Amino acid sequence: MMNNLETLKHGYQLFAEHNIEGVLAMYHDNIVWDMCTGYPFVEGDGRLIGHQAVVEGVFAKIPEHYDNFNIEVSDFVDGGDKIVMVGFYTGTWKATGKKFKANATHTWTFKDGKAAAFFQAVDTAEIINP
């Protein structure tokens, strides 16, 4: 069995391979997903709960708004049940055609070997400003 950090690293690899089913398998059914407020396609307070909400509110919207979206992981800070990913989002914002490399950090909380909560902080201005 993988530890939380290994599970998370594997999850980022699955995301890079566009294996969304594999990614979702590492999440608790009722994962609490907090999107960065200020993100253009975030609705309300940015909180999503559960697999279906994450698929519809995040994963389905990525190809609508980005070309060549990628997460470049620079480092992980391993706190056991709480792990922080430090890195960048890269790609092209379709609305402007602008290529970007934006600072990004994710904080993950694990419970029983699965991701139970996600918190995102991203430099949205770097992404959406022409």
* Full set of structural domains in the chain with CATH: 4-37+46-128 (3.10.450.50)
pLDDT (tens digit, 9 = 90+) per residue, 46-62?
999 999 999 999 999 99
pTM metric for this prediction: 0.94
**pLDDT computed for residue 130 by the predictor:** 63
- Provide the token pair at 70: 């990628």
- Is the pLDDT assigned to residue 6 strictly greater than 90? yes
pLDDT higher for 128 or 90? 90
| Residue 130 per-residue DSSP state | -
- pLDDT grade for 71, boundaries at 50, 70 and 90: very high
- Is the pLDDT assigned to residue 1 strictly greater than 90? no
- Indicate the SS3 state at residue 40: coil
- pLDDT grade for 14, boundaries at 50, 70 and 90: very high
The residue ranges of DSSP E strands in the chain, in sequence order, are 27-34, 47-49, 66-78, 82-93, 98-111, 114-122
Burial class for 30, CB neighbours closer than 10 Å (0-12, 13-18, 19+): exposed
**pLDDT computed for residue 42 by the predictor:** 82
- pLDDT grade for 40, boundaries at 50, 70 and 90: confident
**Share of residues in the chain with pLDDT > 90 (%):** 85
What is the average pLDDT across 84-100? 96
Q: 9-20: b or e for each residue (b if 16 or more CB lie within 10 Å)?
A: bebbebbeeeeb
